[in-house]
Amino acid sequence: MTQGWYRRFRHARRQAGVEMHSDFLSRSVDRLVANARPIRAAPAAILLVVIVGIGICGFGFQHYRERLADLNAQLVSRDRLLTEYGTKLTKAETQVVKLTSALAAAEQRLRAAKDKPVLVEKPSRDPHGLYEDNNQIAQVQDPKIDLDQNKVTFAAVYSGYILQTNKLYEFQNWKLACGGTRLYNMISDGASPEFSYSPLICKIVGGR
């Protein structure tokens, strides 16, 4: 072989190696680019996922805030109602205390009224009348009162009844026993009979 042929061989070999090396490099670069495409697309997907997650979280947080606001409004309304009920209850308790005090005072006045003796005003009497059980039964004239002897002497007594020895009669402020005499005159005018005592001496036995 000549030296020229050898140079041509080496040049052909060198070209073949360069082509082989370029082809291998080209395939390697294509493979790297193909593998890098998902990597380049991954940040966009992750960003999309993050955006979607943030949106979901924001929606949930907004819903939570609205729900929390509703609960707070309900609590405020219940607190207001409880305050109103408490005020009404306090007023009712005050009214109950007042009514209880008024009832106790009324009961006390009622007991005092029951215990207090009833004063019955005595009807006015004829100062010249002789009474039996608050009923006038006789008319007297010229009474003479002797407190030292505890007796009353009437100049004349006119009655529609015969005075009894076992009964007490009333004259002014005294109780009298006037049945000690049987001396009387009966007067009849055609209507009811009337008995006349003249004089009539009665003993004072007490006050009326």
Read off the pLDDT band of 143 (50, 70, 90): very high
Residues 6+ away with beta carbon under 8 Å from 134: 123, 170
CB 176 within 8 A of CB 169: yes
**pLDDT recorded at residue 43:** 65
Q: Which token pair is 193?
A: 């009979």
**pLDDT recorded at residue 21:** 47
Q: What is the mean pLDDT of residues 134-157?
A: 90
Task: Compute the distance between CA of residue 66 and CA of residue 58 in angstroms, rounded to an integer.
Answer: 12
Which H or E element spans position 46?
helix 3-115
Q: For residue 175, is pLDDT > 80?
A: yes
Report the amino acid identity of residue 181. Answer: T
pLDDT in tens, 4-33: 655 665 555 555 454 444 555 556 656 655
Q: Which token pair is 96?
A: 């109950």
Report the candidate in 189, 205, 130 with the shortest Cα–Cα distance to residue 162: 130
Task: Compute the distance between CA of residue 49 and CA of residue 52 in angstroms, rounded to an integer.
Answer: 5
Read off the pLDDT band of 44 (50, 70, 90): low
Buried b (16+ CB within 10 A) or exposed e, 144-168: eeeeeeeebebeebbbeeebeeeeb
Task: Compute the distance between CA of residue 169 and CA of residue 15 in angstroms, rounded to an integer.
Answer: 177
Q: For residue 120, is pLDDT > 60?
A: no
Report the amino acid identity of residue 187. Answer: I
